Amino acid sequence: MKHLLLICLIFNGNMVFFTRNSRFLTFLSAYNDLALRMKLKIINPIFDTLLPTLEDNWLLGLTDAEGCFNLSLLSNSKAYRLRFIISQKWDVNTIILQHISSILKVGDVSHHSLPNNWNYIVNGVKNTANIIPYFETHLLLSKKKESYNLWKQLRLQLINGDHLNDLSRVEMVKICKYINK
Residue-wise pLDDT tens digits, 82-121:
999 999 999 889 999 999 999 999 999 999 888 999 999 9
Q: 3-class DSSP state for residue 95?
A: helix
Question: Do 66 and 124 sit in the same domain of this protein?
Answer: yes
Question: Do 33 and 71 sit in the same domain of this protein?
Answer: no
The per-residue pLDDT of the chain, averaged, comes to 95
Question: Do 33 and 79 sit in the same domain of this protein?
Answer: no
pLDDT for 74:
82
Q: Are 59 and 134 in contact (CB under 8 A)?
A: yes
Question: Do 94 and 146 sit in the same domain of this protein?
Answer: yes
pLDDT for 180:
84
Q: 3-class DSSP state for residue 36?
A: helix
Indicate the burial class of 46 (C-beta count within 10 angstroms; 0-12, 13-18, 19 or more).
middle
Question: Do 155 and 88 sit in the same domain of this protein?
Answer: yes
**Number of separate domains in the chain:** 2
Q: Are 1 and 38 in contact (CB under 8 A)?
A: yes
Q: 3-class DSSP state for residue 111?
A: strand
Domain hosting 170: range is 58-176
Question: Do 19 and 88 sit in the same domain of this protein?
Answer: no
Question: Do 27 and 70 sit in the same domain of this protein?
Answer: no
pLDDT for 173:
93
Q: Work out the pLDDT band at 2, boundaries 50, 70, 90.
A: confident
How long a stretch of residues is the chain?
181
Using left for φ > 0, alpha for ψ between -120 and 50, and beta otherwise, residue 17 falls in beta
pTM (two decimals): 0.89
The two most distant CA atoms of the chain are separated, in Å, by 73
Q: Work out the pLDDT band at 77, boundaries 50, 70, 90.
A: confident
- What's the CA gap between 172 and 162, in Å, rounded? 8
Flag whether 53 is in a domain: no
